[in-house]
């Protein structure tokens, strides 16, 4: 305990004037030199010339320049990237009491419904797959009429809190006017019909989809809640209870349910969650909160920044993955409310003390097995940097990290977090990933469903940190789950069965 | 043995096996060969779709070819989401490349991206064949894939290129079932060449599990029948662990086999909805075409095997005869539990009609069947099932799982058969679900558990009967009322 409380001394000096720029700074753990890739190869792996700049190794502490990024994928490569529609959908889909209607041919809906493991404590309307199922004649004569009829019909069947209407590639081409159909049907149904202009081809980077989803909420939802209907903010205002929104937390595997109780323990009301386990009316009242805390900074920083401009709600970047980052995040929040609610800090200190002791003792036996193992992370979002510290807490070392669609700011973040000798890759295609795995032999790969079986075929343990995840990894309790999952992947005896193949070859080199 | 040979039909000239009356021995009470078409409660929206788009079927067909790389000419999401669905179903790495169309390339046409993509795939992945499927996006902007591919060929006329096959698969028409069918047809149209007659039978499996293709291959081997499988996903989508990973199907139908398919004695399309390729071979090269039914259950498997016996002029091998006997034995063992159990079946049309016929054989009642694909042929097939079984199933084509659940709410069933998307219905309506079809992501073994043939039929009967025992009988063996 002494150890851990020492570590947090640094936070006591935080000033509230730093609030705006507060970012979680990394705590450097002792480094095991053996684990670092000492050799910095000229060309990391053999690949297309245009791809070479997309990989780099952090050379020293001052090395802030990440790999080349935010460029179109090479056509023909098996890219791990998705489309703009996919990006918009992942942000909005967790809104539980809304219909998510995909205006387009059937494939866009049938491949993407009910695929995100966002959990709900109430409604399950968001889990259904809705499509206008555009046919040839709709493409020729336009799909607006069908969209109109579909919205009216769906509203009649479900009487939902809102209908989000997503535009797809072909709808953008034929020029259906989503906005006016949504406006017209909104008048008729008295329901919020929200258009999302997410044509798949609009960008090679699905981050645009995240932004378009945020725009849809900002322009058509947030700020539209009627004050009388919002009990939460009425009570909070009356009793002078601080409120905040949890932004960029999608409740995958119930992550939110590990975070929200901590906030509530601090006597802070959670005004709304955007968008994990959320209701439409809740988000409509998000503008009444005192503070936004942003968990997934990849998808939702934009929303927080816009809300700051529009409603003067300040935001804090937080990270609830990992013990220390969770503790730091709670301290940041306490510090934000320090002036008006100094009592929060006391509660936070207590929470941290009890929880950290509990977690440290529960993970100790996992840690013995995991210490010294090397990890490769390749993911879509903010996990590329937010997981690094969490692995270090387990005694593991991240030797490679990367994202499918990172922006320069994301890579600066990554370069600031990783230790020297770490390989950082951008938009690696499946062949490059296999070559990297073969070259560096990590003991664990953390990625999404598409990479899972490639790792397994190469005989390398895999941990899903994406849609398919079934246990919550957030906050203190989540960290125990995380340690358990990582241990389950890494320490299973099944890998002994494959060991004779361990020097596996990558074909078609 | 002779008795067996004459089992399915006496008319050896018959082509479409199900169009022949096999002399149903189930004398029907009530309506004879009638089906009931319930009305959907909605007219516009699709809720919880029971079909996917054409590129999905196309890609699954292409991944059965040795060394083939599918390329989707469209947005990145098309290939990424298909990969996601296929990875979680097959539990295998799946590689599908994309031309990565974006705003500017959409405005000015996708030629540059497609040329670049072909070049990248050719140089990086070194495939033997590239199957280029279109998408709703590139069909609508009117990219002429044939022309662009010709241009690519002429640009590299002095080099050895992989075969490049264009396949038109806009997702706003048809479904994944058509995508598969069109792909097989395109492959044959572009590749099949007639020269020396071989002694083989072409088998077009359709969109079925790798386990089923493997089962079919084993049956053919037992019958000493050499074959060309169009296409064979049994290795690529259910691969053994070797410690290495391959970016192209490491096995499957060989290019030469596709070319040689014009010289075969006959083609059998296991799924009627996948018979365009075989029909093409028949029309063009006079290779006799036989379509379906999917060999699920006793009678359907009989039809398949007797078709081979007729073509090869051979007898049923002893092993299969015993399997067949064991299947009948299993059906008899399980009949008290199965009798008059109402089942709802949904999924691809041929799988659904095949299973409907099988459940009817078991004494169950196929009460409602549903497919997302729009198909008149499916209605005809179900009429046939109704005729043979004497039941009057509710038949839904071009419908979704919302329609199915609504029907089940008003007309309860005892058992649900279909893919993982029905798990919610099973849960809400408290009906056990037997998972079959695509996708299955919440249970193990989708790629390993066959349903075709006699021995797979045995396991199927046991599994279904056990599900019924589990659900409708108590621990002391008594039936729960």
Residues of A in contact with B88 (CB under 8 A): 449, 468
Query: Does A323 map to a domain?
Result: yes
Beta bridge partners of B365: B342
Interface contact A111-B82, CB threshold 8 A: yes
Token pair belonging to B205: 């499996």
Interface contact B136-A76, CB threshold 8 A: no
According to the model, what pLDDT value does residue B51 have? 94
Query: Does A67 map to a domain?
Result: no
3-state secondary structure of A226: coil
**Nearest CA to A374 among A44, A58, A24, A31?**
A31
Other Cβ atoms closer than 10 A to B377: 18
Token pair belonging to B312: 């090869």
Residues of B in contact with A458 (CB under 8 A): 243-245
Interface contact B125-A135, CB threshold 8 A: no
Interface contact B116-A150, CB threshold 8 A: no
According to the model, what pLDDT value does residue A294 have? 95
Asked whether residue B258 carries a pLDDT value surpassing 90, the answer given is yes
According to the model, what pLDDT value does residue B101 have? 92
Residue B196 CB-density burial (10 A; 0-12 exposed, 13-18 middle, 19+ buried): exposed
**Mutation target vs A (from B62, B91, B93; most A CBs, 10 A cutoff):** B93
Residues of A in contact with B239 (CB under 8 A): 457
Residue position matching structure tokens 């410690």: B243
- Same domain? For A248 and A178 the reply is no
- Same domain? For A231 and A350 the reply is yes
Q: Which residue has the higher pLDDT, A232 or B465?
A: B465
Domains (ranges, CATH) in chain B? Answer: 28-49+319-472 (3.40.50.1980), 54-186 (3.40.50.1980), 201-312 (3.40.50.1980)
What is the distance between the alpha carbons of residues A79 and A71, in angstroms, rounded to a whole number? 12
- pTM passes above 0.95: no
What is the distance between the alpha carbons of residues A176 and A85, in angstroms, rounded to a whole number? 16
**Nearest CA to B238 among A499, A492, A457?**
A457
What is the distance between the alpha carbons of residues B180 and B55, in angstroms, rounded to a whole number? 8
Residues of B in contact with A498 (CB under 8 A): 241, 243
According to the model, what pLDDT value does residue A12 have? 35
Asked whether residue B178 carries a pLDDT value surpassing 90, the answer given is yes
Task: Please give, rounded to a whole number of angstroms, the shortest distance from the CA of A284 to a CA of chain B.
Answer: 26
Which of A48-52, A84-88, B233-237, B304-308 shows the lowest mean pLDDT across its residues? A48-52
- Same domain? For A323 and A258 the reply is yes
What is the distance between the alpha carbons of residues A236 and B132, in angstroms, rounded to a whole number? 59
What is the distance between the alpha carbons of residues B423 and B418, in angstroms, rounded to a whole number? 9
User: Which of B96, B140, B247 is closest, CB to CB, to A174?
Assistant: B140
What is the distance between the alpha carbons of residues A5 and A360, in angstroms, rounded to a whole number? 13
Interface contact B173-A112, CB threshold 8 A: no
Q: Is the dihedral of CA A271, A275, A281, A284 positive or negative?
A: positive
Asked whether residue B80 carries a pLDDT value surpassing 70, the answer given is yes
Residues of B in contact with A203 (CB under 8 A): 102-103
Query: Does A122 map to a domain?
Result: yes
- Same domain? For A269 and A187 the reply is no
Torsional class of A220: left (φ above 0), alpha (ψ -120 to 50), beta (otherwise): alpha
According to the model, what pLDDT value does residue B7 have? 38
Tell me the pLDDT band of B9, cut-offs 50, 70 and 90: very low
3-state secondary structure of B146: helix
Interface contact B103-A434, CB threshold 8 A: no
Query: Does A316 map to a domain?
Result: yes
Query: Does A303 map to a domain?
Result: yes
What is the distance between the alpha carbons of residues A108 and A132, in angstroms, rounded to a whole number? 10
Average pLDDT estimate for B202-211: 96
Q: Phi, psi (5° rounding) for residue A141?
A: -100, 0
According to the model, what pLDDT value does residue A247 have? 96
Mind giving me the DSSP string for B358-408?
A: HHHHTT-EEEEEEESS--HHHHHHHHHHHHHHT---EEEES--HHHHHHHH
Torsional class of A107: left (φ above 0), alpha (ψ -120 to 50), beta (otherwise): alpha
Interface contact B124-A431, CB threshold 8 A: yes
Residue position matching structure tokens 């809304």: A98
Task: Choose the final residue of a domain: A338, A355, A372.
Answer: A355
Residue position matching structure tokens 């997309």: A54
Contacts of A367 (CB under 8 A, 6+ apart): A394, A395, A483
Residue position matching structure tokens 């975070």: A259
Distance of CA A465 to the CA centre of its chain: 10
What is the distance between the alpha carbons of residues B97 and B83, in angstroms, rounded to a whole number? 10
Asked whether residue A29 carries a pLDDT value surpassing 60, the answer given is no
- Same domain? For A234 and A351 the reply is yes
What is the distance between the alpha carbons of residues B335 and B68, in angstroms, rounded to a whole number? 46
Task: Please give, rounded to a whole number of angstroms, the shortest distance from the CA of A380 to a CA of chain B.
Answer: 13
According to the model, what pLDDT value does residue B64 have? 97
Provide the H-helix boundaries in A80-165. 84-92, 106-110, 136-141, 144-158
- Same domain? For A233 and A195 the reply is no
Percent of chain A residues topping a pLDDT of 90? 57
Residues of B in contact with A200 (CB under 8 A): 75-78, 137
According to the model, what pLDDT value does residue A432 have? 84
- Same domain? For A132 and A251 the reply is no
Token pair belonging to B102: 């974006």
According to the model, what pLDDT value does residue A228 have? 63
Contacts of B111 (CB under 8 A, 6+ apart): B143, B148, B151
- Same domain? For A348 and A231 the reply is yes
According to the model, what pLDDT value does residue A239 have? 77
Query: Does A385 map to a domain?
Result: no
Asked whether residue B6 carries a pLDDT value surpassing 50, the answer given is no
Query: Does A210 map to a domain?
Result: no
3-state secondary structure of B203: strand
Torsional class of B97: left (φ above 0), alpha (ψ -120 to 50), beta (otherwise): beta
Average pLDDT estimate for A456-473: 84
Tell me the residue range of the domain where A339 lies. Answer: 227-355
According to the model, what pLDDT value does residue A449 have? 79
Residues of B in contact with A431 (CB under 8 A): 124-125, 247
- Same domain? For A149 and A231 the reply is no
Asked whether residue A26 carries a pLDDT value surpassing 50, the answer given is no
Interface contact A114-B55, CB threshold 8 A: no
What is the distance between the alpha carbons of residues B174 and B150, in angstroms, rounded to a whole number? 27
C-alpha dihedral, A199 to A201 to A202 to A206, nearest 10°: 90
- Same domain? For A195 and A265 the reply is no
Asked if B29 contacts B390 with a C-beta cutoff of 8 angstroms, the reply is yes
Interface contact A75-B100, CB threshold 8 A: yes
Query: Does A376 map to a domain?
Result: no
The total number of structural domains that make up chain A: 2
3-state secondary structure of B302: helix
pLDDT in tens, B381-432: 999 999 888 889 999 999 999 999 999 999 999 999 999 999 999 999 999 9
What is the distance between the alpha carbons of residues B51 and B372, in angstroms, rounded to a whole number? 5
Give the mean pLDDT of chain A: 84
pLDDT in tens, B277-331: 999 999 999 999 999 899 999 999 999 999 999 999 989 999 999 999 999 999 9
Token pair belonging to B215: 């089962």
Tell me the C-alpha to C-alpha distance, in Å, between residue B314 and each of B220, B259, B318. Answer: 12, 26, 12
Minimal-distance CA residue of chain B relative to A50: B120
Give the mean pLDDT of chain B: 91
Strand order across the beta sheet in which A315-317 lies? A269-275, A243-249, A291-294, A315-317
- Same domain? For A267 and A344 the reply is yes
Which of A394-408, B254-268, B362-376 shows the lowest mean pLDDT across its residues? A394-408
- Same domain? For A296 and A349 the reply is yes
**Please, what's the b/e burial string for A143-159 (b: 16 or more CB within 10 A of its CB; e: otherwise)?**
bbebbbbbbbbbbeebe
Query: What residue ranges in B97-156 does DSSP mark as E strands?
Result: 97-98, 129-134
**CATH at residue A307:** 3.40.50.1980
């Amino acid at each position: 305990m002494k150890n851990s409380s020492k570590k947090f001394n640094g936070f006591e000096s935080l000033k509230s004037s730093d609030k705006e720029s507060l970012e979680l700074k990394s705590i450097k753990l002792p480094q095991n030199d053996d684990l670092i890739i000492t050799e910095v190869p000229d060309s990391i792996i053999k690949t297309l010339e245009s791809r070479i700049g997309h990989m780099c190794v952090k050379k020293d502490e001052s090395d802030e320049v990440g790999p080349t990024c935010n460029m179109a994928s090479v056509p023909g490569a098996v890219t791990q990237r998705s489309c703009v529609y996919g990006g918009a959908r992942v942000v909005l889909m967790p809104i539980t009491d809304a219909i998510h209607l995909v205006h387009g041919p059937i494939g866009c809906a049938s491949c993407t419904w009910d695929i995100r493991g966002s959990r709900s404590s109430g409604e399950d309307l968001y889990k259904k797959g809705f499509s206008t199922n555009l046919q040839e004649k709709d493409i020729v004569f336009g799909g607006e009429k069908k969209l109109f009829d579909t919205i009216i019909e769906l509203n009649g069947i479900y009487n939902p809190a809102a209908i989000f209407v997503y535009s797809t590639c072909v709808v953008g081409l034929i020029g259906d006017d989503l906005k006016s159909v949504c406006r017209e049907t909104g008048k008729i149904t008295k329901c919020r019909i929200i258009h999302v202009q997410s044509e798949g081809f609009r960008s090679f980077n699905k981050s645009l989809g995240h932004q378009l989803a945020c725009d849809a909420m900002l322009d058509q939802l947030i700020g539209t809640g009627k004050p009388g209907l919002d009990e939460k903010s009425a009570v909070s205002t009356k009793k002078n209870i601080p409120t905040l929104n949890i932004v960029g937390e999608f409740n995958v595997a119930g992550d939110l349910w590990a975070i929200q109780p901590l906030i509530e323990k601090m006597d802070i009301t959670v005004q709304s969650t955007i968008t994990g386990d959320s209701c439409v009316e809740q988000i409509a009242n998000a503008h009444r909160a005192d503070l936004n805390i942003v968990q997934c900074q990849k998808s939702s920083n934009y929303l927080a920044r816009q809300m700051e401009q529009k409603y003067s709600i300040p935001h804090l970047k937080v990270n609830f993955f990992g013990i220390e980052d969770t503790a730091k995040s709670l301290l940041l929040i306490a510090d934000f409310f320090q002036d008006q609610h100094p009592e929060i800090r006391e509660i936070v200190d207590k929470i941290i003390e009890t929880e950290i002791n509990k977690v440290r003792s529960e993970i100790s036996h996992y840690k013995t097995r995991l210490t010294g193992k090397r990890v490769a992370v390749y993911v879509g979002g903010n996990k590329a940097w937010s997981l690094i510290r969490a692995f270090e807490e387990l005694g593991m070392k991240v030797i490679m990290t990367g994202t499918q669609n990172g922006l320069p700011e994301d890579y600066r973040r990554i370069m600031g977090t990783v230790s020297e000798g770490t390989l950082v890759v951008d938009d690696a295609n499946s062949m490059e990933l296999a070559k990297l795995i073969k070259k560096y032999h990590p003991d664990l790969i953390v990625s999404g469903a598409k990479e899972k079986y490639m790792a397994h075929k190469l005989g390398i343990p895999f941990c899903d940190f994406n849609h398919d995840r079934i246990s919550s990894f957030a906050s203190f309790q989540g960290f125990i789950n995380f340690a358990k999952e990582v241990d389950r992947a890494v320490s299973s005896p099944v890998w002994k069965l494959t060991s004779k193949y361990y020097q596996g070859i990558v074909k078609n080199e | 043995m002779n008795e067996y040979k004459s089992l399915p039909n006496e008319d050896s000239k018959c082509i479409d096996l199900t169009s022949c009356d096999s002399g149903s021995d189930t004398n029907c009470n009530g309506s004879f060969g009638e089906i009931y078409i319930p009305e959907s409660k909605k007219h516009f929206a699709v809720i919880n779709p029971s079909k996917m788009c054409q590129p999905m079927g196309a890609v699954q067909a292409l991944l059965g070819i040795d060394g083939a790389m599918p390329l989707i000419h469209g947005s990145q999401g098309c290939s990424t989401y298909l990969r996601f669905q296929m990875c979680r179903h097959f539990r295998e790495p799946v590689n599908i490349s994309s031309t990565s169309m974006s705003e500017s390339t959409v405005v000015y046409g996708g030629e540059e991206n497609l040329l670049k993509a072909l070049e990248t795939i050719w140089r990086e992945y070194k495939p033997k064949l590239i199957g280029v499927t279109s998408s709703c996006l590139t069909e609508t902007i009117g990219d002429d894939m044939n022309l662009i591919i010709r241009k690519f060929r002429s640009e590299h006329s002095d080099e050895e290129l992989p075969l490049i096959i264009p396949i038109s698969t806009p997702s706003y028409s048809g479904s994944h079932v058509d995508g598969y069918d069109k792909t097989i047809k395109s492959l044959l149209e572009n590749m099949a060449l007639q020269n020396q007659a071989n002694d083989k039978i072409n088998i077009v499996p359709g969109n079925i599990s790798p386990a089923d293709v493997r089962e079919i291959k084993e049956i053919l081997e037992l019958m000493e029948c050499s074959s060309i499988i169009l296409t064979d996903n049994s290795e690529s989508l259910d691969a053994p662990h070797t410690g290495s990973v391959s970016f192209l199907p490491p096995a499957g139908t060989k290019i030469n086999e596709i070319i040689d398919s014009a010289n075969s004695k006959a083609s059998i399309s296991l799924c009627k909805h996948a018979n365009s390729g075989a029909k093409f071979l028949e029309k063009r090269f006079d290779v006799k075409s036989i379509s379906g039914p999917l060999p699920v259950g006793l009678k359907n498997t009989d039809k398949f095997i007797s078709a081979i016996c007729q073509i090869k002029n051979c007898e049923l091998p002893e092993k299969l005869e015993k399997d067949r006997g064991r299947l009948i034995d299993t059906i008899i063992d399980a009949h008290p539990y199965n009798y008059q159990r109402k089942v709802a079946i949904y999924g691809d049309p041929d799988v659904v009609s095949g299973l409907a016929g099988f459940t009817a054989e078991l004494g169950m009642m196929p009460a409602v069947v549903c497919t997302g694909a729009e198909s008149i042929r499916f209605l005809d097939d179900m009429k046939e099932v109704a005729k043979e079984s004497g039941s009057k199933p509710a038949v839904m084509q071009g419908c979704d799982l919302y329609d199915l659940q609504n029907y089940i709410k008003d007309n309860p069933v005892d058992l649900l058969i279909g893919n993982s998307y029905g798990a919610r219905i099973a849960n809400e309506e408290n009906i056990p679900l037997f998972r079959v079809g695509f996708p299955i992501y919440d249970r193990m073994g989708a790629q390993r558990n066959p349903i075709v043939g006699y021995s797979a039929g045995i396991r199927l009967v046991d599994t279904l009967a056990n599900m019924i025992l589990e659900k409708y009988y108590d621990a002391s063996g008594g039936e729960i009322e």
